[in-house]
Amino acid sequence: MTEQDSFNERLAAIARALFHEPDLQATLQRTVDDAARTLNGALYSSVSLVLHRRQVETPVYTDDRALWADHLQYELGTGPCLDAVWEQDTFGIEDLTTETRYGTWSRRVVAETGIHSSLSLQLFTDPESAVSLGALNLYSPQPRSFDPDTRAEAVALAAHAAIALQSAQTDAQLRSGLVTRTVIGQAEGILMERLKITADQAFGLLSRLSQQRNVKLRDVARALVETGALPGD
């Protein structure tokens, strides 16, 4: 078996495992764990996740040094993972001590974490739409850690991770919608029974309370279901 065949088998196993994770957080954590464990030179790994279209944060990481390297970029507003998220598919730095594009970030990362090279790969599922889910970030304490073979393997891993991530996000949204509809239905039932009103009237009452209090409808409904008290009591 060749080295490429071995990686392909590991990649297939990783892809299957990603799709069997129970939720979004577990999918993200497995992504960084597998990246750090599978790719040569990637000793620390993290995911920069896009929230609400423009906000970026790091929900998972394998080492505090990866988290700090990410947070420095968010603080300074510049860095390779941000460029990978918004500008181009892959962004690598062979040696942070000679890096000139992100001078302040590079100097601080080397001094504060000992990281000397990095590779960030955009997580997206549709190149035509150019919608970025975030970036997979790989860090190493050694310079020039990410050779062409490792980069190619990282690109393949990131592609599988992006598909699994989008699937997990969609599943989470569906679950959230189902829970919301269930809670609203329960709240309507309480109001219908206590006030002897129709389902439409109960929903209208919940909607008016939501607007008056500037609180989301599902939160008004949840409060009624959890406390058993009529809104406004």
- pLDDT of amino acid 138: 96
Q: Which residue in this structure is represented by tokens 């000679």? A: 98
Domains, the chain: 3-172 (3.30.450.40), 174-227 (1.10.10.10)
- Looking at residue 106, its pLDDT comes to 96
CB 61 within 8 A of CB 31: no
How far apart are the C-alpha atoms of 76 and 78, rounded to whole Å? 6
pLDDT tens by residue, 14-48: 767 777 777 878 888 888 998 888 887 778 999 99
Q: Residue 159's CB: how many other CB atoms inside 10 A? A: 17
Residue 62: predicted pLDDT: 95
Asked if residues 140 and 41 have their Cβ atoms less than 8 Å apart, the reply is yes
pLDDT of residue 177: 66
What is the rounded distance in angstroms from the CA atom of residue 77 to the CA atom of residue 190?
49
pLDDT of 172 = 60
CA torsion 146-134-56-94 (nearest 10°) is 10
Is residue 202 helix, strand or coil? helix
d(CA 14, CA 207): 45
The predicted pLDDT at position 169 comes to 66
Entry pTM: 0.69
Identity of the residue numbered 233: D
Q: Provide the pLDDT for residue 44.
A: 95
Residues of the chain with pLDDT under 70: 1-5, 7-8, 11, 15, 53, 125-132, 168-169, 171-179, 230-233
Give exposure, 117-129, as e/b (b: 16+ Cβ within 10 Å): bbbbbbbbeeeee
Cα separation, 119 vs 128, whole angstroms: 23
How much is the pLDDT for 55?
87
Write the DSSP string, 11-74. Answer: HHHHHHHHHT-SSHHHHHHHHHHHHHHHSTT--EEEEEEEETTTEEEEEEESSHHHHHHHHHHH
